[in-house]
Amino acid sequence: MRELRYREALREALAEEMERDERVFIVGEEVGHYQGAYKVTEGLLARFGERRVIDAPIAEAGFAGMAIGAAMAGLRPVVEFMTWNFSAVAFDQILNNAAKVRQMSGGQFTCPIVFRGPNGAARQTGSQHSQCFEAFYAHMPGIKVVCPATAADAKGMLKAAVRDDNPVLVLEDERLYGSKGLVPDGDHLAPIGVSAVARAGSHVTVVTWGKMLVASLDAADALAREGVECEVIDLRSVRPLDHAPVIASVEKTGRCLVVQEAWPFGGVGAEVVDRVQRDAFGALAAPVLRVTGRDAPMPYNKKLEDLTIPSTDTVVRGVRALLAY
Bridge partners, residue 172, by sequence = 118
- Rg (alpha carbons) of the chain, rounded to whole number: 20
Q: Give, rounded to a whole angstrom, the gap between the first and last alpha carbons of the chain.
A: 43
Nearest CA among 173, 318, 303, 179 for reference residue 259: 318
Looking at residue 226, what is its pLDDT?
Answer: 94
Classify residue 233 by its DSSP letter. E
196-323 matches 2-183 in CATH topology: yes
CATH topology of domain 2-183: Rossmann fold (3.40.50)
Q: Give the 3-state secondary structure of residue 270.
A: helix
Q: Give the 3-state secondary structure of residue 279.
A: helix
B/e letters for 8-45, b = 16+ CB within 10 Å, e = fewer, are: bbbbbbbbbbbeeeebbbbbbbbbbeebbbbbbbeebb
Q: What is the pTM of this model?
A: 0.96
Catalytic residues: 60, 129
How far apart are the C-alpha atoms of 66 and 232, rounded to whole Å? 40
Classify residue 131 by its DSSP letter. -
Looking at residue 204, what is its pLDDT?
Answer: 98
CATH topology of domain 196-323: Rossmann fold (3.40.50)
Q: Where are the alpha helices (DSSP H) in the chain?
A: 6-20, 44-48, 60-72, 91-92, 101-104, 134-138, 151-163, 212-224, 244-253, 268-279, 302-308, 312-323
- Cα angle at 314 between 312 and 320, to 5 degrees? 105
B/e letters for 258-272, b = 16+ CB within 10 Å, e = fewer, are: bbbbbbeeebbbbbb
Phi, psi for residue 299 in degrees, rounded to 5: -75, 160
How far apart are the C-alpha atoms of 319 and 256, rounded to whole Å? 8
Looking at residue 123, what is its pLDDT?
Answer: 87
Classify residue 18 by its DSSP letter. H
How far apart are the C-alpha atoms of 9 and 15, rounded to whole Å? 10
Looking at residue 198, what is its pLDDT?
Answer: 98
Looking at residue 314, what is its pLDDT?
Answer: 97
Domain-by-domain residue ranges, the chain? 2-183, 196-323
Calculate helix-pair angle for 6-20, 151-163, nearest 10 degrees: 30
Per-residue pLDDT tens, the chain, 325 aa: give them. Answer: 999 999 999 999 999 999 999 999 999 999 999 999 999 999 999 999 999 999 999 999 999 999 999 999 999 999 999 999 999 999 999 999 999 999 999 999 999 999 999 999 988 888 899 999 999 999 999 999 999 999 999 999 999 999 999 999 999 999 999 999 999 999 999 999 999 999 999 999 999 999 999 999 999 999 999 999 999 999 999 999 999 999 999 999 999 999 999 999 999 999 999 999 999 999 999 999 999 999 999 999 999 999 999 999 999 999 999 999 8
